[in-house]
Amino acid sequence: MSSRFAVLVGIVQLILFLGHFFVYETWRYFSTLSGPAVITFLQITFLLLSISFVAASLLAARYDNGAVRLFYTVASIWLGTFNFLFMAAILCWILYASLSLSGRHVDKSFLLSGLFGGALLVSVYGFANASWIRVARISIKLPGLPRSWRGRSAALVSDTHLGHVRGYAFISRIVSMVRQLRPDIVFIAGDLYDGTKVEPKHLAAPWMNVSPPFGKFFVTGNHEEFSHPNQYVEALRKCGVCALVNEKTVVDDLQVVGVTYGTLTHPERLKSVLRSAALQTDTATILLAHAPHQLSIAEKMGVSLQLSGHTHRGQVFPFTWITSRIFRQYTYGLNRHGALTVYTSSGAGTWGPPMRVGSRPEIVLIRFE
């Protein structure tokens, strides 16, 4: 483990510990439960829960077995639940202070039960919502679109995060939905894998069950690039998926360029890739790029449509708000950046907590006009 990574892990663990300590102290102050046995039990429980996700993540990066998958799944669910309990704890203190200052009697136990109970209900909703994958249907008109592509459709899949929480059954369901949509072409915009220790070929296998007329195309996301992206690229290629690694292909006169996530983080490298692609400016070009980054460069280099994911639309509140501040209007949906059309998908899967509150999982069906 590098020193930089160790520091990052330490910072994350410290934040989680302090957050759990705050929730624990809130519970102690507002709850009527007391006694040495109860206090000791809560202290041990919150301590173990505070280190569960970091420990599970470190194990998941190295091991792929039933015990580790179960531990990682439980820790991920708890992380999402903790997020809402933390917000409930903040509300407890705000409401308690407001009511006390106004001279009203406050039933602390009732306040705690109501807010923490609400947090648990929101968590259950988030879990159910994340499992309900929708189909977002959009129509796009591109200048220079070859006549043969008018009326055709493309399926966009991103951010399935296959790993210890979402596995073979999940991607099989995704592929089945894509097959029912009968697209002419399929685009996979990165983070198909979560980056945990898995067998890439096994999880890629379901893609053999869908064969659109004009192919299936994939680019790596940041999670594939956590370790060795070639293992994912090769697994998908053996299943008939064309991985575009900083290259262009022409599909029935339509130009399709795919760039790696690492390329997106280096503006000059992205410029070089697009320049080397020798794009025909009078013909439409689709750029498959994991994140909605470097949009000005894509527009300047003559790209017509950029298809991305990465943001998850924040996945769960309050990160939905944070993500919208970072990516602005490009955090989700169909937008324009000058002459460039951009679609950012909220993704089909989840990272960390298998929950969605304030966003929804999707597969996108694009119809070209």
φ and ψ at residue 137, rounded to 5 degrees: -110, 125
Other C-beta atoms lying within 10 Å of the C-beta of residue 186? 25
The 3-state DSSP class for residue 284 equals: coil
Other C-beta atoms lying within 10 Å of the C-beta of residue 306? 28
Same domain for 165 and 105? Answer: no
Give the DSSP H or E segment for 80: helix 66-101
Same domain for 59 and 142? Answer: no
The C-alpha torsion from 60 through 65 and 66 to 70, rounded to 10°, is: 0
Long-range contacts of 21-24 (CB under 8 A, 24+ apart): 21/46, 21/50, 22/86, 22/89, 23/82, 23/85, 23/86, 23/89
Give the whole-angstrom CA distance, residue 114 versus residue 179: 45
Same domain for 24 and 162? Answer: no
Give the whole-angstrom CA distance, residue 6 versus residue 2: 6
Of 100, 130, 160, which one is at a domain's C-terminal end?
A: 130
Per-residue pLDDT of the chain (369 residues; tens, 9 = 90+): 578 888 999 999 999 999 999 999 999 999 887 778 888 999 999 999 999 999 999 999 999 999 999 999 999 999 999 999 999 999 999 999 999 888 888 889 999 999 999 999 999 999 999 999 999 999 999 999 999 999 999 999 999 999 999 999 999 999 999 999 999 999 999 999 999 999 999 999 999 999 999 999 999 999 999 888 999 999 999 999 999 999 999 999 999 999 999 999 999 999 999 999 999 989 999 999 999 999 999 999 999 999 999 999 999 999 999 999 999 999 999 999 999 999 999 999 999 999 999 999 999 999 999
CA distances from 345 to 212, 272, 279 (A): 20, 26, 25
Long-range contacts of 270-275 (CB under 8 A, 24+ apart): 270/294, 270/297, 270/298, 271/297, 271/301, 273/246, 273/247, 274/298, 274/301, 274/302, 274/303, 275/301
Same domain for 85 and 186? Answer: no
Of 130, 156, 190, which one is at a domain's C-terminal end?
A: 130
Same domain for 350 and 217? Answer: yes
Same domain for 140 and 94? Answer: no
Q: What is the CATH classification number for the domain harbouring 235?
A: 3.60.21.10
* Domain housing 11: 3-130
Q: How many domains does the chain have?
A: 2
Q: What is the DSSP string of 285-313?
A: EEEE-SSS--HHHHHHTT-SEEEE--SGG
Same domain for 123 and 219? Answer: no
Give the whole-angstrom CA distance, residue 352 versus residue 357: 13
Of 98, 130, 162, which one is at a domain's C-terminal end?
A: 130
247-251 and 254-258 strand pairing? antiparallel
Same domain for 199 and 109? Answer: no
Same domain for 291 and 177? Answer: yes
Same domain for 83 and 223? Answer: no
333-337 and 305-308 strand pairing? unpaired
Same domain for 153 and 202? Answer: yes
* Angle at alpha carbon of residue 190, lines to 226 and 205, rounded to 5°: 95
Nearest to 85 by CA among 135, 23, 172: 23
Give the whole-angstrom CA distance, residue 142 versus residue 304: 7
Same domain for 228 and 321? Answer: yes
Within the chain, what is the greatest distance between any pair of CA atoms? 76
